[in-house]
Structure formats: C-alpha cells, structure tokens
Amino acid sequence: MIRVAVDALGGDRAPEEVVAGAADAASGEIQPILFGPAGLDTQGLELVVTTQAIGMDEKPAEAVKAKPDSSLVAACRAVGEDAADAVVSAGNTGAMLAACFLELRRLPGVARPAIAVVIPSERPSVLIDSGANADARPEHLVQFAYMGSVFAEEVLGTPSPEVRLLSIGEEPEKGNQLTLEAHDLLAAAEGLNFKGITASRRGRVGGLLIRPAARGMRSRLDPDTYGGAYLLGLRGLAVIAHGNSSRLAIANAIRLAARGVEHDVVGTLAQRLPERVLASARSESPRQAR
C-alpha cells in the first residue's frame, strides 16, 4: 500500500475537488491521507487534522515559517518523517518548494531541485526545470540535465535519452549569457547524450502547422490529463499539481506520485546522481566562482 499525503486545502478548488480526487484515486494499492481541518468531509479517507492554511497569494518562505501546522507543510513533513511515501499539493507552488526544502531536504550534491514535467507522446519527453528556479546558473542547468536524463532512462524507460537546451534559436551562438554558458558546459559534460539546440523538421515549416500541432498537444498538456509534476532532487517524493486542478487532475497527480514510489524515483536518483552532480557543481565559470 502506497501512502500519499494530500494537502486538502491546496488549490483554487479546495477542499471539495481535492477530497473528491483523492477518493477517486484510492484503491487497493494507493492510500491517500488528507491533511486539513477538523470536521472536513473526507469521503471515508484518513484525515490528519491541521489548524492552519497557506493561501495562494502568501509569500512562500514567510508562510512556511509562520504556519508549521498548515496542511501543506504538515503533508510534506509526513514524508520527511516516513509517515507517508509521497506528498501531493495543488497549493502555493513557492510554499510547496520551501516546505519541501525544509522537511524533505535535498539529495547530496544537488544545488537546486527542479520541477520535471513529463510530456506524454510516442517518446515521452521531460521538461526540466519547469518553474522551480527563476535564477538558475549554467552549472544548475547541467545538474538539471543529469537529473532529467536519469529520470527519463530509469523511470520512463528511454535508453540513452537525448538532452537538448531550450533557447530562442537552434545555433549554439544564439541565446542569452546563461544559455551560451550552459551550452558549453553541457557539450563538455560526460555521460550526457547532449544534442545541442535543434529545431524539428515540422517546427521549421512554420505557421501553417502550428494550429494542428497545438490541437494535438492540447490533451497531452492539459493538467487534468497528467495531474502534476515531480520535484526532483529531494530526499522524498513530491508532486506539484496545478493550482486550478479538478478532481480528475488531483486523482491523476496522486497516481503519478504512486508511480514515482513504485519506480523508486528518489532512490534511483540518489544512486545515479552523486558523482555526476558533484562534478557539475564544481564546473562553475570563473565569473561565477568569484
């Protein structure tokens, strides 16, 4: 039985849609545990009573520090204390990140955890980092590349996954200073199947193909379809769901968390990352090292 701690007060539609989604996800293999106020209608699910809530508009670090008994922080703490195997929240993303840093802590050598969004297709892709870091440095992007590569290989079953750098153009000399420096580091990184910045054939055709492509991607990128995104680089498993998640999205986010436990995402990264991550962390440019 996989125990998933669920922040019942997280998200624009909480708690009703969160509770309904958790109830839908409950099965013989998955046990959602709700964290929320006394008297909450849990539809038969276990409730851990909390006395505080973090709003979507609160300052993350301050809110986490001031509200240790909030549903979000308590759900993260449950994973850190081995009372749950994973945590899911559709609440304040910044607060979720801060709570995870505090309660779960980072894997050895990881400078910055990163949000990994899986984009389903014939060959699933992982978009990393998808919003956890606004000021990442080039060496952080190298760490993200290693984490995404290991995740794609071990969890998605993609042999020798290709690593590409998202930029404004396909030539190596295009992009801002961060992109340029990251490109050089990625190209020199050992053990990465780095392919640079390449536009697809369909992408080169231009505007005529944009609408059909967008229609085809709509259902795959709909947060209801996949549910959430993993926060990689932590000692515990966390899934961040979209703030406007419906019950379907919450149920899928909980199932996504359960799959991460089944695949031992945290253990796999802990085994595969240390040497590569530590090496990339030492690859700071002279300007950054000063």
Tens of pLDDT, residue by residue over 200-248, are 444 444 444 445 555 555 555 565 766 899 999 999 999 999 999 999 9
pTM attached to this predicted model: 0.85
Q: Which of 114, 98, 90, 128 is nearest to 254 (CA)?
A: 90
Burial of 29 (0-12, 13-18, 19+ CB in 10 A): exposed
Tens of pLDDT, residue by residue over 164-209, are 998 766 565 666 788 889 999 999 988 899 998 855 444 444 444 4
pLDDT tens sequence for the chain (290 residues): 999 999 999 999 999 999 999 999 999 999 999 999 999 999 999 999 999 999 999 999 999 999 999 999 999 999 999 999 999 999 999 999 999 999 999 998 888 899 998 887 677 789 999 878 878 889 899 999 999 998 898 888 899 999 999 876 656 566 678 888 999 999 998 889 999 885 544 444 444 444 555 555 555 556 576 689 999 999 999 999 999 999 999 999 999 999 999 999 999 999 888 666 666 666 544 444 43
The H or E element that residue 126 is part of is strand 125-127
List the Cα angle 127/123/274 in 5-degree steps. 50
- Distance separating alpha carbons of residues 282 and 275, to the nearest angstrom: 11
- Distance separating alpha carbons of residues 124 and 153, to the nearest angstrom: 11
- Distance separating alpha carbons of residues 167 and 145, to the nearest angstrom: 15
The H or E element that residue 232 is part of is strand 228-232
- Distance separating alpha carbons of residues 264 and 270, to the nearest angstrom: 10
